[in-house]
Each structure stands twice: as C-alpha cells, then as structure tokens.
Structure 1
Amino acid sequence: MSLSRRTVLGGGLVLGASFLTAPAARAEDYTKPFTGFAPPSTVLRAGTPGSVGLDPAPIELAKDQVRSHQVAAPGGHPLYPGHVGLMAHDGAVVATQVDGFALRYRNATEELPQSQWVPMRRDTIFDLASVSKLFTSITVVQLIEEGKVDLEAPVATYLPEFGAAGKESVTIRHLLTHTSGFTSWLPLYSKYPDKASRIAAVMNQPLTNPVGTVYLYSDLNLITLGVLVERLRGQSLDEVVASRLTGPLGMRDTGYNPVAKERTAATEYQAVPARGMVRGEVHDENAWSLGGVAGHAGVFSTVDDLAVLSQALLNGGTYRGARILDRKSVSLLITNFNESFPGDDHGLGFELDQTWYMDALSGPRTAGHTGYTGTSIVIDFASRSFAILLTNRVHPSRSWGSINVARQEWARGLGMALPIRARGNHVVWETVARNASTATLTVPLVVPASGARLGFDLVAQTEDTDVLHVETSRDGGTTWEALPLRIRQPGDARHGEDREQDGSLAKAELDDGTTGPISGTDGERRWRQVRADLTAGDQLLRWRYVTDANTLGRGVAVSRVRAFSGRGILVDGDRTPDEFGTSGWTLARRS
C-alpha cells in the first residue's frame, strides 16, 4: 500500500494513517508486504537467511558478484579495491561481507608495495559522500517535527540572505526534493577564498530554472539546509548531528572529520587541488573547503552504524529506546513529493523507488541514497529489509568508472531472496534476473471449436523498459499474436471489472491509468488474477519477458496456470509442469 497524500500546516504535520497500520502476517513473503513500521523494540541480531525465511542462493550469488569486481579485467583495473557490505531482514543481519583493501595505491597509477596494502575490516570507516545528505535531511525534519520549521515556508523566512537573486519563493520542501531550480554544483573550493565567501556564494546564487518546474539534483540545496540547521540550532552541523542523531543511536564511528584515520578507507589521489592521496579527510572538494562539515557531504561511517540508522527508521524513528524522529516524521521522509516528476520520486532527502541501484528491492516505499565515493544504502519498508554497500571506488581515481552494477547486484541479492509464494499450493514460475535478454515460458494447446479460457496469477515488478508479452502462435512459433488480457486485483474494488489490453502488461492495467502499451508496475507486490479468451485451434501459448541492457526490478512470476473449456482442463501448470518449455524462467517453488 502506498502512502496517502499529506497535508502540511504551519510547521505541524497532518498525515494519512496508511503507513501506520498493522503489518502483514508473513515477513518472508514478497507478495505480502508490510504496511507499517517494525516493532519499536526491534534490535538487530545475527541471523541467517534461512532463519527469517529467505532463500540463501541469491544472497550468495550477490556476494560472489560484488567480490568479483575487485579483480581487474585483462589490461584494465578493478571497479574498486575493496568493499564492506551488509544485508538485514526483519531485524536479522543475514549477510555481511568484508573483502579487498582500504588502501592499495600510492598515487593515481601506481600501487604501493603489497606489504603496505591495508585490508578492509568490518569496522572500516568510509567517506559516505552524498549519503551525508540523509543526515542533514533528518536534522531538518527534526526541526519540522518540533514546529521550528514549516516545510512549505520560504527558506528566506529562516535565512533572509537566501532570498537574494530571485529565490524568495524557494521553500524548504523544494530544497529537500531537489526541485528548487538551483544549478547542480559550483566550484566553491577554487573560486572563493574562504568559508564565509563560499557560503555567501550559495546564498547569492540565482536559480537556473524557475522554482518547482524541474527536478535537478543539486549539492547547493543541502549546503543551504546545513546552514539553516546551524542557524536555528545555534550549533555547527557536526555538533547537531552528534547530539541529536548519532549520539542517541550509539553510532560511535559516525561523524565528520574522523579521528581514527588509520581505520578509514582511502579515496582519491588528487593533484588539483594538491591534496595527494586523500584518506581520513572528506573527498568532496567543496565540503573539504568548508572545513569538512557541510550539508551535502562530509559524514564518515561504518556498515554497522548505518545498519543501526536503517533499523531505527524501519522501527519508526527509534532504536534501543532512543527516539530520533516520531513515526509521522519518518513517514514524511519517505512520502513521494515529486509525483510531478515521474522517475525522480523523492521524499525529504531520501530517494524513492530508484531501480538503477535498488534493483529487486525497489518500490514506492523503498528509500535510499548513493554516494560518489562508492557508497549506497537501500531501505525497503515493504519488506523491513535493508542493503548497505560501502566501497572505495574512487581509490585511486574517480575516472575508473561507475559501480552501479555492484550496487544493483547487492540489492538484488536481498530482493531476490524474498520468496514469492503462490496463493495456495501451486507451482510458481519466475523469470531469471538478466539484462538484455528474452525469457520465454511456452506450452502447447489444442483449443476446441467452442474456444477456451486462460487463467493465471501474476506478480510483476519491473522497470518501465522491461516488458512482459502474453502471446499465441498458430504456425509453430514463426509468428506471434498478442493475447488480450483482463487483469484484476483480488479484493480490490479498483479492479472489480476486467480490463482489456493488447497483450503487453501495461502500467495502465495495473494503475487504472490511461490506455497504452507501457510496461512497469506500481510496486504493490501482490498477486493479480489474469484472464484471457482463447480461440479454437492448435497453438502455442507463451509468456515472453524482454529486458533492456540497463537495470532490473524483481521481474515476473506466474502461478495457477490453467486453460479450460467446456470439455475440461486443457493444461494445468500444477499437474503437468513438464509440458512447459522454458528459457530464462525457473520453476521456483511450491508453497
């Protein structure tokens, strides 16, 4: 169930109660998502995938995949020297992995002697880069919760100097959702001589776009909010984060300008500015020029500290009796305020439903962020799960490329471990997670002159550019024709009537939207009933799932496949699964 729309009034919050309702019965079933927070008493514990009903195989695959990126291709280089990863579900830490090196290179091209390489440790401290924005956002929402800030108030209400250059109508919400109209970045570190002039440059910067008209991710938004927090609290941002967030949660290794430099993962060798190998100092040049403390970057942390923060949010803002936010405030963090910008779903500081790194965990109630240094955090409220991957991918050079593939694999491992269970004791066919592929599930049919009906249950959690087609062929598979489908959600009044479509799973079918051959789903993670009419004749029936070369969602699963006529059942996926030919599908399991 998605969050209800919110109303914000005069610094107070009035939220729909849908996120606070009772949880579903089974946490380990992908098709029965939670609709509420975890019990506030939930404390992380050691576990195994099997102890909380997860399939260990996808998790082990993810471990192997993420580890493999530390091996250089012939004539090339690894994606990153090392990593630390953690997965948790329903309060249990079900996977951790520590591999590679926190320090390996002397400069941008030369390795240190191997005796000087520093191995990764479970408690290695990473420069989080833009994941720091989440810490700033939480401190802003704390001010909203206390009535000291109104989400819809102009920023200039609290920072009068910000109203310069036509920014008087930019609100707190615009900054938190990257819809302010600000440019993405300014070279503060090189263009201005000191911290005061750098902050003034942000305050005086005009908008690149009219406020509220475009989504444009911008460091300037969070730099401004960091200044706002400092102004209203009368403390520096690092002091606010320590006293109101990391301190109460016991996140001892999290903060700005780390003291334990020997435990930090090295980042980049920087020749301009002449910083040499950066280790124990913030990598981001602008944050460095602001003393290492800024709203957009500067936080260092460990995988275990980030796990505590993740579980505190899943618990509704509390952990081990320490409350950093109330439940309504956490709901506000993950409410999509960017419905006018499809694909750029955003809560307050938190990105939402971003398949490009959340992969099989993505959905409307999946929140997270990435960091330029090679970090990512994905928190899925629907399954009470989170996946954290910390790498030092800019060590020794940022030019070595993106690690999005590793982010996807780590989140996918946990998402695919959540079993899809049929409604009743039925066979489940599920697509294998592969990019740039076509998966087919095919069965022959002999339909009598009177015709027949096809019925099956469906779970589809795909990205918009991955499409499921249901088709028939009467010439042995040479040509195919789309089969019109009628899809309904059991127990949902919105889907009380069947809805005709062209044979491709469309967002229109699942969302009651406009007609059109659009793939992608609404993320509800529930079984739907599909019906179709079959005309007379010998034919092949197939489910064809086509993925592009980029990202994946969970994919597609079908169950309770039956074709029947007045003469009886023509095919039954439960009784005769061997009649189905498969390529890229697996016979997943029975309940």
Structure 2
Amino acid sequence: MKQRYALLILLLSIHVLTGYGNNSRASQKVYEERDSTVSSRVNDLIGIPDEIAALIYSKTKDFPKQTQLAIAMVNGDQVSYYGTVNDQGTLIATDNRDRIFEIGSITKLFTSVLLSSLAAEGKIDPEEDINHYYPFPFHGERSITFASLASHTSGLPRLPANLVLTDLTNPYKHYGKEELEAYLQEMLTFDQEAGVKYSYSNLGAGLLGHTLSLSQQTGFDLLLQQRVFEPYGMNSSYVGTVENDERLVAGRDMTGEITPNWDFDVLAGAGAVRSSVTDLARFAIAQFNSSDKVLALTRIPRFKVDEHMQMGLGWHILTDEMGKRLYWHNGGTGGYSSSFMLQPEQKRAVIILSNVSAFHPETGTIEQLCFELIRNLNQPRKGEQP
C-alpha cells in the first residue's frame, strides 16, 4: 500500500495557475525534542493520535514563518479539524477551520459541478459544442465540447498565447473578455486533437466557466452561489474579492513575506474561489449522498489517462491495488497551496488549505501529507474489518 501511494504521489504535480518527507523518524525525534507540548495541544483540539501530529509536523516544519495549514479529516459524517501556524519551525496549534484561503485550481471542481447541474436540468449537454454560444467563428473552425474542457481533453494549451505573465504576483487580473475573444477569433491553437490525450489546461477551465455564464446570461460568481455554494451549505465560499474580509488568511511568498491575492476576470472558472476547510468538508460529505445525481455525474470516468488515472468532470480519479477509487484535485497560487482527496465509497476525505506559496520548493509535501492522512483514515480501527 505504501509503495502504491508513493507511486501515485510521484505521478501528481501541483496545478499552479501560472503554468504550474523522506526521513520521518528523524523528523519525529526533532518534533519531540523541540516542542513536547505540541502533541497534547493538537490532540486536545481535534483528538487525533500523537503519530498523526508528528506526521503533520514532519511535513510542515520547514515552511516559512507564519504559514498556516487548515486540515479537515472526514470520516462518514464526522469531521476532525486541525490547524497549525509555523513559527520559525515550531508548530503552534490554532483553530482556523473557518478562515478563508485561496483554493486555486480546486475551483475547477466547482466549475464542473456547475456544468453537471445545468446538464441535470437539460439546459446543457456536456457533449455539445461551446462554439454556438459565441457570435463569431473560432479561429481554424475547430469545435470544443463542454465535457472536453472539464476533463482536460480538449487539446487546448495550458494558457492562451495572449496572456502575458508580466506580473506573477497577480497574473490573471488584466485578462478579460476582450482578450479571450481576440484569442478565440485570431489565435486559437491546439496542442493535440481533442479526446486523444490528457493535457491540463487553465485556459480550458476558464473558458468552461465563461461559456456556462454566457449560456445562462448570468455572472459566473452568481451561478456558483446559486447552484453550488448555497445548495451545499458553503456559506463562507465566494468568487473573487470581499473587501476587508478579516477571515482571509494572508498569502505568503516563498520566503514567508505577505504577497498579493490573485484577482481573476474572464478565466475565473480556473481558480478564483476562496473557501474554508469547513465549507469543503461539507462539499465532501455531500459527495457521500448516492442520490445526488449532480455530484455523481462529475465522478463518472470519461477518459483513461494511463493505467493509474482516469478523468471525470474536474476530478482526477486514481485507483489503488485494492480497487479503491481516490478522487483528487489540488491547487496553487502565488500565496497558497491546497489539496483535496475524496473516497465517496468509503465516505472519507481529507482537505488541506494553506498559505504556503505554490512556488515554494517544498510545497509538494502538502500533497504527501494529504495522502498520508487519508491512508490513516483507511487503516482498520480496533473491532473493524480491513
């Protein structure tokens, strides 16, 4: 099992919107020597074993000062929350379950749920072309379907050619409807034929969100509010910026200094959502409801990437050697990194939000931690069958 999960970790990469733990015993020893009170404080907060507290410490102790992790571990309808602040390598427990973080590319899950919701009502066919929602022909007269955008099989490049990344501290702010339409009419290119290969595309997800908005003649933010956030009780989630939101955790750059938040315009569907682990835990629990056809549609495999992974609508679908499916997505912006792993059949999930920059060289340990925590949830407890 450990080897399998290690292999899966190697197959995954952080989906940074700009392009985008080896010695556990030693780490645990340092953890015990440097702050012997951490374990008890953490367990008082969320009631998880000391070994898990040590694991979290080993994966986060090298992050910059004042970086935070907010963690939700979901087992059935029970949720354990755990929050940490890193103070020069010392782990300090904090209750940040309701604090707001940029979630980056996890936004794409909600853009896909929006597609599924409209499909369930017969307002959109996922296999129909998006072209007729635009009052002009696409360059090269190539057709693009909704489903191919949600599953990253459209063949579109990662970013549009006319998005110039001159300011990595806020790269999407000035890319609007005018720029996107100019790209579609004059510069549209494809890296490969549609449906042939998985190729992760922020352009594709942004185009999906914008086209869904056009189809309903409603803003993307309002569509998400009406069709995703309100139905699933995600009361703290929103698109874009809320002025003076004291709940928002400041993003940190690679060195730990505060960095600007990212603003999105027409490509909001790729990464504009801000949320909390409390809201994302509610979204995870909703996935356990077998009668929810909207969410179920997003989890249906649509494209086989390789022997290890398939694509649904938004979800990356991994399968372990026991045949258990793991649904996954992560996200990264200039000041934040996140990971979401879900096992609806076992009714388990782990969500990690952080203000660790996606450009930090050790940000991959957040992914590793998420895998390790969901492995822990899958370990048989006393009196349980494996």
Do Structure 1 and Structure 2 share a fold, with TM-score over 0.5? yes
Q: Is the Cα contact below 8 Å between 1:255 and 1:299 reproduced in 2?
A: yes
2:344 alignment partner, one of 372, 381, 384: 381
- The Cα shift of 1:67 comes to 2.7
Deviation at 1:70, TM superposition (A): 3.6
Give matches, 1:38-437, under 5 Å: 57=49, 60-72=50-62, 78=64, 81-93=67-79, 95-100=80-85, 121-159=96-134, 161=136, 163-168=138-143, 170-186=144-160, 188=163, 190=165, 195-204=176-185, 205-256=188-239, 257-269=241-253, 277-279=258-260, 281-282=261-262, 288=263, 290=265, 294-316=268-290, 327-339=292-304, 341-353=306-318, 365-372=325-332, 373-394=336-357, 398-420=358-380
Tell me if structure 2 keeps the 8 A contact 1:167–1:207. no
CA shift digits 1:106-153 (9 cap, x unpaired): xxxxx9xxxxx9x77222100000001111111111111111111221
Cα RMSD (Å) of the superposition?
3.6
AA in 2 matched with 1:65: L
How much does 1:338 deviate? 1.3
Cα contact 1:376–1:390 (8 A) shared by 2: yes
Distance of aligned partners of 1:145 and 1:368 in 2 relative to their CA distance in 1, 3 Å threshold: same
Gaps of 5+ in 1: 1-48, 50-54, 105-110, 112-116, 271-275, 283-287, 317-325, 426-588
Paired residues of 1:181 and 1:214 also in contact (CA < 8 A): yes
What is the one-letter code of the residue matched to 2:122?
G
Contact 1:351 1:367 in 2 (8 A): yes
1:458 aligns with: none
Letter of the 2:294 partner, please give it. Answer: S
CA deviations 1:437-457 (Å, max 9, x no partner) are xxxxxxxxxxxxxxxxxxxxx
Find the structure with the greater CA-based Rg: 1
**1:83, CA displacement in angstroms?**
0.3
Query: Compared with structure 1, are the counterparts of its residues 211 and 315 closer, same or farther at alpha carbon in structure 2 (3 Å cutoff)?
Result: same
Identity rate of aligned residues, in percent?
22
Matches within 5 A, 1:435-514: none
Aligned residue identity for 2:312: G
Aligned equivalents of 1:416, 1:181: Cα separation in 2: 37
Instruction: Measure the CA separation in 1 of the matches of 2:307 and 2:182.
Output: 31
Distance in 1 (CA, whole Å) between partners of 2:309 and 2:366 is 21
Question: How far is 1:366 from its partner?
Answer: 2.3
Would you say the 8 A contact 1:125–1:265 is kept in 2? yes
Which structure shows the higher helix fraction? 2
Cα distance in 1, alignment partners of residues 139 and 82 from structure 2: 49
Rate the CA distance shift 1:258–1:401 in 2: closer, same or farther, 3 A: farther
Q: CA deviation at 1:194?
A: 5.4
Paired residue total: 324
User: What's 2:11 paired with?
Assistant: none
TM-score by length of 2: 0.73
Compared with structure 1, are the counterparts of its residues 265 and 120 closer, same or farther at alpha carbon in structure 2 (3 Å cutoff)? farther
Are the structure 2 counterparts of residues 345 and 200 from structure 1 closer, same or farther at C-alpha, using a change threshold of 3 Å? Answer: same
Higher strand proportion, which one? Answer: 1
Task: In structure 2, give the amino acid aligned to 1:68.
Answer: S
Give, in angstroms, the shift of residue 160 of structure 1.
Answer: 5.5
Query: Counterpart amino acid of 2:318?
Result: D
Q: CA deviation at 1:416?
A: 3.1
Task: Give deviations 1:357-398, integer Å, cap 9, x for gaps.
Answer: xxx9x965322210013111111012101111111111xxx4
TM-score, structure 1 normalization: 0.49
User: Secondary structure in 1 aligned to 2:231?
Assistant: helix
What stretches of structure 2 of length at least 5 have no aligned partner?
A: 1-42, 167-171
Contact 2:251–2:356 under 8 Å retained in 1: yes
Equivalent-residue separation in structure 2 for 1:78 and 1:277 (angstroms): 11
Distance 1:80 1:150 in 2: 46
- Cα distance between partner residues in 2 of 1:78 and 1:63: 19
